[in-house]
Amino acid sequence: MNDLWQIQTFLVSSMQADTTLTLAHCAVWLDPVLFSPDECEADSDDDLTYALHICRRCFPEVYTEAVQRLWRGENALHLNRAICVGMNRHLVTPLQDIAQIQYGVPFEALGLDREDPDFRAQHPRLARIADWFDCDNHEASEIAAALLPSLAPYGDKGVHADLAHLIVWLFGISGNTLVDWTDEQLWENSIEPPDWTPDDLAFIHEVQEEAHEIVTSAYRALDLLEADDSWAQTLQANIHLVRERKKPDEPSTLRWQPDAGHSPSDPAHPDPELLPLWGDLAPSDGGWGDHRIPR
């Protein structure tokens, strides 16, 4: 036996003879990042180490699965895929690669930029509705916001809620940042992704799920307006009523037809006769709106 093997054998024997070293060795084997720095740098070149830190902090069962794969000697590609699959069980917006983890919790911005030159080409159906509001007019957003109070009394389900969601999505006035802003707008306004903490994860998931619900509801309204001329005419008539007000605070009345899909088991909608028009557009505060990342 050469000297190198003798040294290795001596070290192994010494470690096994020392209870403290044996326990430390066992701990590192069971929990590889146990003795790593508490704060692993996000810009580290070692994506796997950073991913393990995040999993240990936020997704303990995913961390356990990854460690077991390390014991089996699986290669980096398999570990990458397994960690993403495990983390995606807990995420609304999925990861494609562990290299994404260093940029914060993933999210999907669903906002619309009506000033984008490609808006009409990318969203021809929405552009048609935007034309009813005369979106080149600076008052279009105020007109859109002025319609919302008359839709609110009908509740948060059904056709009227769908119409309200279409309006707030088209004009970016929902209060949900992921509905109101595009990825580019978030970047330009220095809105950073949330950190990998349990509280921030729960928060961004709530925001993202609400954003998907609003946009899904908005598309139902869009389908209705394309399929039912009476609803399209009603919306256009109410837009015209708001536009013709002589003063911003002048009382006005809007008419909305009843929801034909309303079932007797649903909460009763109010009588749609001549609902008062009130309220002004709430100014944007340039942040996460009603959904701010807690710091």
* Together in a domain, 161 and 247: yes
Q: Residue-wise pLDDT tens for the chain (295 aa)?
A: 577 777 778 777 776 776 766 666 666 656 677 666 656 555 556 899 899 999 999 999 999 999 999 888 999 999 999 999 999 999 999 999 999 999 999 999 999 999 899 999 999 999 999 999 986 667 888 999 999 999 999 888 999 999 999 999 999 999 999 999 999 999 888 888 899 999 999 999 999 999 999 999 999 999 999 999 999 999 999 999 998 875 656 656 788 988 877 543 344 343 333 333 333 333 333 344 454 433 2
Asked whether residue 15 is domain-assigned, the answer is no
Helix axes 124-132, 229-243, angle to 10 degrees: 40
Residue 195 and residue 128 in one domain: yes
Residue 254, strand partner residues: 275
Same domain, 135 and 77: no
Q: Is residue 225 part of a domain?
A: yes
Q: Is 286 exposed, middle or buried (0-12, 13-18, 19+ CB in 10 A)?
A: exposed
pTM: predicted TM-score of the whole model, two decimal places: 0.76
Rounded to a whole number of angstroms, the distance between the first and last alpha carbons of the chain is 60
| Residue 219 tokens, joined | 């598309």
- Tokens representing 65 are 């699965």
109: which 2 tokens? 């911005």
How many CA atoms within 13 Å lie on the side-chain side of 116? 18
Looking at the fold, whether 269 and 152 belong to one and the same domain comes out as yes
Alpha-carbon distance 117 to 114, whole Å? 8
Q: Are residues 37 and 139 in the same domain?
A: no
Question: Could you tell me if 123 and 116 are in contact, meaning their C-beta atoms sit under 8 angstroms apart?
Answer: no
Q: Check if the beta carbon of residue 231 is closer than 8 Å to that of residue 257.
A: yes
Phi, psi angles (nearest 5°) of residue 289: 65, -135
Residues 143 and 98 in one domain: no
For residue 224, which of 264, 259, 196 has the smallest C-alpha distance? 259
**Closest C-alpha among 93, 287, 100, 112 to residue 190:** 287
Judgement on whether residues 63 and 136 belong to the same structural domain of the protein: no
Structural domains in the chain (count): 2
Q: Which domain holds residue 239?
A: 119-276
Residues 85 and 58 in one domain: yes
Residue with tokens 């720095």: 37
User: Which pLDDT value is given to residue 204?
Assistant: 94
Residues 193 and 250 in one domain: yes
Same structural domain, 67 and 123: no
The identity of residue 268, as a single letter, is: A
117 by Cβ neighbours in 10 Å (0-12 / 13-18 / 19+) ranks as exposed
**Does a structural domain hold residue 217?**
yes
Contact 104, 196 (CB under 8 A): yes
265/124 same-domain check: yes
